[in-house]
Amino acid sequence: MKLTETEVRYVANLANLNLTEEEVARMVHDLGSVLEHMDRLAGVDTNGVEPMSQVLYETEETATLRPDAERAPLGNELALANAPMPGNGYFKVPKVIER
Amino acid sequence: MSEQSPTAHTISSIREGLLKKAFSAAEIAREALAFAERENPKTNAYLLFSSERAMEAAERVDKKIAAGDDPGLLGGVPVAVKDVILTKGVRSSCGSRMLEHYIPPYDATAIERIEAAGGLIIGKTNCDEFAMGSSNENSAFGPVRNPVALDRVPGGSSGGSAAAVAQKTAVAALGSDTGGSIRQPASFCGVVGVTPTYGRVSRYGLVAFASSLDHIGPFARNVRDAATVLEAMAGRDPLDSTSAEAPVPNYAGHLDGDVRGMRLGVPVEYMKHATGETAALIDRSIEGLRGLGCDVREISLPATDYAIATYYIICTAEASSNLARYDGARYGFRSAASGTLSDMYRNTRGEGFGAEVKRRIMLGTYVLSHGYYDAYYLKAQKVRALITRDFTNAFRSVDAIVAPVSPFPAFRIGEKVNDPMAMYLSDIYTITGSLAGIPCMSVPCGATSEGLPVGLQILCNHFHEEKMFRLAHAFESTTN
């Protein structure tokens, strides 16, 4: 599977990622060679195989649910401590209406 | 204290010294920090030292000892921590510009447990950005040099943790493993590295890369110390719903059992890729295991040829989703180039991430995109089930699998950095165990003629860490 520059730009757009012209050219080459390798999966017979989305193992019945008890939240001050632009107890971002 | 740095001790010799009052935990912390800071410029293994935190932890240990209480499983033990594991109040950058100034408001569960057991967190270690890489060359803060051969990589992504333990600037270290990021650097640096069963150690506070594959595990200079650190960290945590209920055995207490008659499988598919000296050292190790009375036989893991494709589809897909959170709004870096909200996202991510992280976000976004999901992501999840089935079948007739960790020893810095596909292919032996979620480890098995360490990999079935440690410990005693 080879990728074109147009496809690379399309995917970068989906990923909200700015790429320079040089990065786009590099991605065409790098992603192309990795996808070519990935294409070998097409030849594997997976008829009747359930997809594995999580590690499963033989185990006794587990209680993976925790009691719904109150816990102290992080709090406004700590939650904002790493914000690049905090203000009035909020995260400040550019206008949301104009994309 | 003694002539040598306290970081050259073992866990048990530290305990003994503390209980005999030969030294205090505060002395250990002070000397360990001074030694590590002095040695660090050689390798760049540490990104920062958490002196205050280590001194406070040492004081708590000394108070316990003064009161006649037990200092804990890791009492007074200097531990280095990979920078993808969050430490409250101590910067955790993940090796990325994106989090260069990020100070976590909470501790990872693994960190809480290490300190509850008396461990001293002395610093945060360098790593590939967001744990993505096999050489530690993808760190935004410069590569780590392998302490064994300074012109070579320490492996990755937990390169700094492996280097710190090999350089004896820490007694033990924590790393994270998604596709081999503990075992491969352990083998390159000549130390023990353990990837426990998926779910054995809570990932709460581990910065997510690929959630169905991420593990936390220990590095140490011997099997006993690695087993002890795992014991201190393992166990159910309500804050990580994937953490297992299974009780935590006393790993270090069961190392000395007999391995005579233990059935070991050697996968034919693995041995065909290993090159010259690595293959010869693995063969010699297998002979050593036979000498211990193990029953060694060939086994087949036929889906191995598809493992790299499967892994790089699943891990990039999960990474593209997990890393969507770095958008410049709530924490971390925000681009100074302003504009619309959308510009803020794109510029922040374009400027904040390094080349490998961008490559993986792109790959992951592509394989999840409309029209390709079934052919790539869904297909990979099915092949993952086949790879896991290979192991399940193998463990019906063997107790453990032994194999190489990497096809070759540590390579030169810069040697593979421009060929991502070649770098990905070097993960062949470690990603299969990661995909199946089984416990696996690297234990040193010798060195090449150039003096480069090589690791033997041991893989066992889910939650069979005790057996894995027992075999590794018996093997270790034949190499010392």
8 Å CB contact of A40 and B341:
no
> Taking residues A85-91, what's their average pLDDT?
94
pLDDT of residue A58: 66
Question: Which of the four pLDDT bands, split at 50, 70 and 90, describes residue B287?
Answer: very high
Q: B421 pLDDT exceeds 80?
A: yes
Confidence of residue B271 (pLDDT cuts 50, 70, 90): confident
Q: Does the pLDDT of residue B163 top 60, yes or no?
A: yes
CATH architecture group of domain B6-254: Alpha-Beta Complex (3.90)
**A90 within domain boundaries:** no
In a domain, A32, yes or no: yes
Q: Could you tell me the pLDDT band of residue A21, with boundaries at 50, 70 and 90?
A: very high
Whether the per-residue pLDDT at B152 is higher than 90: the answer is yes
pLDDT in tens, B101-137: 999 999 999 999 999 999 999 999 999 999 999 999 9
Asked if residue B47 lies in contact with residue B160, where contact means CB atoms within 8 angstroms, the answer is yes
Count Cα neighbours of B41 within 13 Å in the Cβ-side half-sphere: 2
Task: Please report the pLDDT score of residue A83 as a whole number.
Answer: 96
Number of cross-chain residue pairs from A and B with Cβ atoms under 8 Å apart: 174
- pLDDT category at B278 given cuts 50, 70, 90 is very high
Tens digits of per-residue pLDDT, A25-38? Answer: 999 999 999 999 99
Chain A nearest C-alpha distance from B301 (Å)? 14
CATH of the domain at A36: 1.10.20
Residue B113 in tokens: 């447990």
Q: What is the band of A99 on the pLDDT scale with cuts at 50, 70, 90?
A: low
- By the CB < 8 Å criterion, does A83 face chain B? yes
Q: What number of other Cβ atoms are within 10 A of residue B208's Cβ?
A: 17
Reply yes or no on whether the pLDDT at B1 is more than 60: no
pLDDT at B245: 87
Mutate to test the interface with B, among A9, A18, A59 (most CBs of B within 10 A): A18
Residue B188 confidence class, pLDDT cut points 50, 70, 90: very high
Spatial distance between the Cα atoms of B438 and A55, rounded to a whole number of angstroms: 9
B443 or B272, higher pLDDT: B443
Dist. CA B55–CA B106, nearest whole Å: 19
Mean of pLDDT values over B171-182: 98
Question: Does residue A24 belong to any structural domain of this protein?
Answer: yes
| CA-closest candidate to residue B380, choices B405, B363, B358 | B363
How many beta carbons lie within 10 A of that of residue B21, not counting itself? 9
The whole-angstrom separation of Cα B187 and Cα B177 is 14
The residue range of the domain holding A33 is 5-42
Q: So what's the pLDDT on residue B169?
A: 97
Q: State the average pLDDT for chain B.
A: 96
**Is A47 in the B-facing interface, judged by CB distances under 8 Å?**
no
B30 lies within 8 A of chain A by CB: no
* DSSP string for residues in B429-451: HHHHHHHHT--EEEEEEEE-TT-
Which candidate from A31, A59, A84 shows the least CB-CB separation from B362? A31
Please write the tens of the pLDDT for every residue from B201-256: 999 999 999 999 999 999 999 999 999 999 999 999 989 989 998 899 999 998 99
**Predicted local confidence at residue B395, as pLDDT:** 98
pLDDT digits (tens, 9 = 90+) for A41-75: 999 999 999 999 888 776 666 556 777 889 889 99
* The predicted structure's pLDDT at residue A54: 87
pLDDT of residue A61: 61
Measured distance CA(B47)–CA(B102) in Å, rounded: 13
Compute the distance between CA of residue B334 and CA of residue B285 in angstroms, rounded to an integer.
51
B361-381 pLDDT per residue, tens? 999 999 999 889 999 999 999
Q: Is B353 left (phi over 0), alpha (psi -120 to 50) or beta?
A: beta
By mean pLDDT, which of B151-160, B204-213, B371-380, B420-429 is the weakest? B420-429
The structural domain count of chain A equals: 1
Average pLDDT over residues B351-357: 97
- Mean pLDDT on A63-92: 89
**ipTM score of complex:** 0.94
Residues above pLDDT 70, as percent of chain B: 99
User: Does residue A84 lie within any of the structural domains?
Assistant: no
> Which positions of B are annotated as active-site residues?
82, 157, 181
d(CA B462, CA A73): 35
**CB contact (8 A) between residue B328 and residue A84:** yes
CB-based contacts of A22, cutoff 8 Å, min separation 6: none
